[in-house]
Amino acid sequence: MVYEHNVMAHKVEYQLLRQLRNGNAQNWAPSRLTEKTGLWQGIFDWPQPDFAFQDNTKESSLACEFKPPNRNKREYLTGLGQCHAYLNDFEFALLVVPKKANDGYPIAEYLQNIFEETTRPMGLLAYDGNIDSLSTLRRITEPACPRRIIPKGIGRKMFWAYWREWSQYEVFNVLDVMYKNECKFSDAYDHYWRNTLLNGNALTWEKTRRRIPTEGSFASRKCNARLSMRHIKVIDSRTEITENGYNLLHIGKIYNPESDVFKKHLGKLILQDGKHLDLIFWVEENQRVIPSDKKNNAREFRKKLDKTLQENGIIKEVPESGGKETFIRDEFKLWNKLGLLDKEANNRYFYKGEGLRFNWKRILEMAT
């Protein structure tokens, strides 16, 4: 059911973003969301919208909550409350619901009456079976005094979880230390650095010993690890272990971290809480429009994919002074480690002239 929700939410996200960038969203969107609108680049702890947009030219933002069909009335009323909560951080909010609840009740019409009685900058869209055809029940109202707000995410300027040089064994190691010593991430990572990494006992995804790093890389490695664990919500804003973290640790203790059970659960957190599933949807769609002569090698493909995603408002432009060629860098490697990519006979996951082939069976197993 979760995967179904994510697929449908992405289709709505794609449709609304295309309307905004084509200038065809006047029937539901405020004027402060222009053709320069793109996806909001950030990750929230809670409450987290299904997707969000930002317009840097107007400093405006919109959080969207999508509700799938065949749910009870309470589920759709919850969406109303979520939109009110999103307005604490975003300038506008939008709720997308089916016209009827699972008992046949006209829930969209009921919500429309509630929306008409509020002056808050919220809108309501409805669909009837086909989510490709959305009807506007209430256009987003625009306040006289704009808030001019684009919220910041948790240590990140993109909408998906950051992941660099961090294996399933290391995630388990740090969570285990946090649990046993009743400590926060910082102390647990320091313990991992001294007693595991510098001793040559840290393991990569393939269970080979990780090369001992220099002392000078301590701060950057610790920051990378903290961001990865925060973005998949195994630690919280206080860097304490969360319910996600306890569940992952429990699975690791039962099956051990090298088991496929543990890897699948970690992958589920990366795909869902870390929003990598949404990124995969965008990559799959956008790689199709890239000419085959721009897919001669993985490096060239990444550069062209980044450019295409930028042009379509999916990601931001790489800063010229940032020292990076692309924003999407190690994501392909991570997906490969999780088994989300099909491989060629030479064990490479990049297909010349094509790009990536996703293992949708594996993705579905993890994301549900």
Q: Is 193 helix (H, G, I), strand (E, B) or coil?
A: helix
What letter would DSSP give residue 125? Answer: E
pTM of the full predicted structure?
Answer: 0.94
CB of 121 closer than 8 Å to CB of 139: no
Query: What are the helix and strand counts (H, E) for the chain?
Result: 12, 8
- DSSP one-letter string for 75-103: HHHHHHHHHHHHTTTSSEEEEEEESS-TT
pLDDT reported for residue 286? 96
> What residue has token string 């709505």?
12
* Pairing label, strands 122-128, 51-55: unpaired
Amino acid present at 173: N
Measured at the CA of 42, the angle between CA 288 and CA 359, to 5 degrees, comes to 35
Question: Residues 251, 254, 255, 261: is their CA dihedral positive or negative?
Answer: negative
pLDDT reported for residue 45? 83
pLDDT reported for residue 322? 58
CB within 8 A of 184, min separation 6: which ones? Answer: 178, 235, 238, 239, 240
* Pairing label, strands 350-351, 60-66: unpaired
> What residue has token string 């993705």?
363
CA distance 228 to 166: 8
pLDDT reported for residue 323? 59
CB of 122 closer than 8 Å to CB of 95: yes
Q: Is 338 helix (H, G, I), strand (E, B) or coil?
A: coil
CA distance 247 to 80: 30
Digit-by-digit pLDDT tens for the chain (368 residues) are 688 999 999 999 999 999 999 999 999 999 999 999 999 999 988 889 999 999 999 999 999 999 999 999 999 999 999 999 999 999 999 999 999 999 999 999 999 999 999 999 999 999 998 888 899 999 998 888 888 899 988 876 789 999 988 999 999 999 999 999 999 999 999 999 999 999 999 999 999 999 999 999 999 999 999 999 999 999 999 999 999 999 999 999 999 999 999 999 999 999 999 999 999 999 999 999 999 999 999 899 999 999 999 999 999 877 655 557 788 889 999 999 999 999 987 779 999 999 999 999 999 999 98
CATH architecture of 2-138: 3-Layer(aba) Sandwich (3.40)
Beta strands across the sheet bearing 122-128:
38-39, 51-55, 60-66, 92-98, 122-128, 130-138
- Where along the chain do its domains lie? 2-138, 168-271, 276-367
CA distance 134 to 216: 54
Residue ranges of alpha helices (H) inside the chain are 2-22, 73-86, 107-116, 168-181, 185-192, 218-231, 243-255, 260-271, 276-287, 298-311, 331-337, 360-367
pLDDT reported for residue 133? 87
**Segment holding 135, helix H or strand E:** strand 130-138
CA distance 28 to 305: 30
CA distance 329 to 103: 47
Peptide bond into 151 cis (omega under 30): no
